Amino acid sequence: MKRRVFSGARPTGRQHLGNYLGAIQNYVSLQDEYDCIYCIVDVHALTSLEDTSGLQKNIHEMMLDWLAAGLDPEKSILFVQSHVPEVMELHTLLGMVTPLGWLLRVPTFKEKAKLQPQNINYGLVGYPVLMTADIVLYKAEFIPVGEDQLPHIELAREIARRFNNLFGNTFPEPEARLTSFPLILGLDGTEKMSKQAGNDIEIALSDEETIDRVMTAVTDPARRYRNDPGHPEICNIYRLQGYFNPLQLDNIADQCRSAKIGCVDCKMLLAQQINSSLKPFRERRAALAAKPGYITDVLADGAQRAQVIARETLTEVKQKMGLI
């Protein structure tokens, strides 16, 4: 039997290059080796989302990107968190074994509380408990995470361990499967690529839109005129060339330092490489988008398969807690 991997991502809508080069490609590569469960965590999104009018569209667009990028509903379970409501019940039950002090110590709670002082809701505090419920409901063993997520996985392990100690061995303690997610900077060249920062390049853009976005990127600030020699080592366009144009990287660096290539030409080269590398993805995406009801069907099937596992775990938990 394959070992089980679980991962959840917030419904952020159309995915950008940072999502693609980090999480999505990793998700796709794990599918053959592991029994993978990938979830769009819509309830988690509510902790910081006040306007939910775009939520369904975001889920749809995100799943379309995932599928077109190679996530295979035949191999993996793909679903939306709230479509398997057992997770909410398990969240409540795990809340009974989680000391409040553990939650108040979580660094991301403090950061979030600072970011939205007008909306420090219970969900922000309880987020790690819901995250633990997401994982242990499916008895997942491995969680693909970047280093910044390690404290959350450690807390999930502590909650699972505490439950096991109190009520008997039930959950595997989830292990972080450390993944070196590349840090993809946005078009401003300073912040991590993100929708919120408005510095992203969506993978589903058309060729022309991609060129327009890349042309807005900040490059080497010292290179004010076409004849100024550049410093590729500090330029984000150069970093991105490393992903999409690796064979020409040395050549670009030489040409940049000797001012034989201008930034506009360099950006055009990058945009063309992004477009040719994403061409198969974009064609698949258009084909999937044209199938009426396809995404709804994939999500319904994923939720049904996830729910079979979820119900079994929840019954076991309730029996052990004396609720049945």
232 is a site residue for ligand SF4 (CB under 6 A): yes
Burial of 226 (0-12, 13-18, 19+ CB in 10 A): exposed
In the complex, what is the shortest distance from the CB of residue 253 to ligand SF4, in angstroms, rounded to a whole number? 7
Residues 89-148 that bind ligand SF4 (CB under 6 A): none
Which one of the spans 7-15, 51-59, 259-267, 296-304 is the region binding ligand SF4 (CB under 6 A)? 259-267
Q: Burial code of 6-30, b = ≥16 C-beta within 10 A, e = fewer?
A: bbbbbbbbbbbbbbbbbbbebbbeb
75, 139, 192, 318: which one is catalytic? 192
Here the tokens at position 279 are: 């061409």
230 is a site residue for ligand SF4 (CB under 6 A): yes
The answer to whether residue 192 is catalytic is yes
The answer to whether residue 114 is catalytic is no
Q: Which is nearer to ligand SF4, 195 or 239 (CB)?
A: 239
Q: Which is nearer to ligand SF4, 67 or 263 (CB)?
A: 263
In the complex, what is the shortest distance from the CB of residue 214 to ligand SF4, in angstroms, rounded to a whole number? 10
112, 139, 318, 320: which one is catalytic? 112
Distance CA 207, CA 87 (A): 41
Distance CA 280, CA 283 (A): 5
The answer to whether residue 2 is catalytic is no
263 is a site residue for ligand SF4 (CB under 6 A): yes
Distance CA 271, CA 267 (A): 6
Name the DSSP class of 185: B
Residues 205-224 that bind ligand SF4 (CB under 6 A): 219-220, 223
Here the tokens at position 54 are: 């775009």
Which one of the spans 12-20, 72-80, 197-205, 256-264 is the region binding ligand SF4 (CB under 6 A)? 256-264
In the complex, what is the shortest distance from the CB of residue 204 to ligand SF4, in angstroms, rounded to a whole number? 24
Under 8 Å between Cβ of 80 and 44: no
Residues in Cβ contact with 122 at an 8 Å cutoff, skipping those fewer than 6 apart: none
Residues in the chain: 324
Name the DSSP class of 13: S
Three-state DSSP at 228 gives coil
- Binding residues for ligand SF4, rule CB under 6 A, total 14
Among all residues, which ones are annotated catalytic? 112, 192, 195
What is the contact surface with ligand SF4 in residues (CB under 6 A)? 219-220, 223, 230, 232, 235, 237-238, 252, 256, 261, 263, 266-267
